[in-house]
Copies of this chain bind each other. A is one copy, B any other.
Amino acid sequence: MPTTSRERLVAAAFELFAGQGYDATTVDEIATRAGTGRSTFFRHFPTKDDVVLPDHEALLRRVDERLATASSAGLEVALREAAGIVLEHYLAEGETARTRYRLASSVPAIRDREVASVQRYVRLFGKHVHRWLDTEPDGPLRAELVASAIVIGHNHVLRQWLRGAVDDADTTRTLVDRALDHALAVLRGPAAAGAPTIVITGGERDVEQVVQQVRAALGRP
């Protein structure tokens, strides 16, 4: 079983971090346990954190590619699928992702790195959403809101899966879809200048019922 030194380093790091904690573990120990030199560690990972962090670069690239090909009509689908790419990556990682999550929950250094990564996804989504909103009033702000809403919706459900509160992959996918309904409502509901914008989410969409609700909501029938 001659795994690569990179893989051995990752395995050793996960074991040591779990066993004696992140701060109490030195890069020297990780390298020694992996049967390699300290130089090799830093040749594979720029910092100590990176050995347990996922490869966001590749993931961001794939998300970027999916969003870049989105047409105006297919924007929502593209956003959902882009979020799906990330979700599927984590689901495929399985237990590794969950171990990392527990680590990030207890080690501030790793948590901060993760937060910074999340920000990169928000910026990426924002870049593309902005392309579709740039003619609209408050386009840049709304693009940022939508992008962040999508990432939050996705991560909200992802965390449930990482914690083990949800275990089934299909259930997780369904929940993400529902969470993205909320997120995309932000996209559909611009604050128009002339005619008001109306967002209807959830429930049965019986016209007369909705109309009645509108009359009631506006207060003066």
Q: Which residues of A contact B (CB under 8 A)?
A: 112-113, 115-116, 119, 137-138, 140-142, 144-145, 148-149, 152-153, 156, 178-179, 181-183, 185-186, 189-205, 207, 209-211, 213-215, 217-218, 220-221
Contact = CB atoms under 8 A, between A and B. Distances in A.
Contact of A217 (B113, B144, B198): B198
Nearest to A185: B189
Given A116-B112, A145-B153, A214-B210, A194 B203 contact: yes
A145 B182 contact: yes
Contacts of A182: 138, 141-142, 145, 191
Q: Do most interface residues of chain A lie in helix, strand or loop, or is the interface mixed?
A: helix
A189 B187 CA distance: 12
Copies of this chain in the oligomer: 2
A207 B216 CA distance: 10
Contacts of A144: 152, 156
A181 B204 CA distance: 26
A24 to B, nearest CB: 19
Given A116-B115, A141-B153, A218-B207, A200 B198 contact: yes
A107 to B, nearest CB: 13
4 closest residue pairs by CB, A with B: A196-B203, A191-B202, A191-B201, A199-B199
12 contacts: A141-B156, A144-B152, A145-B186, A149-B149, A189-B189, A193-B203, A195-B204, A196-B200, A196-B202, A198-B214, A207-B218, A207-B221
Nearest to A215: B207
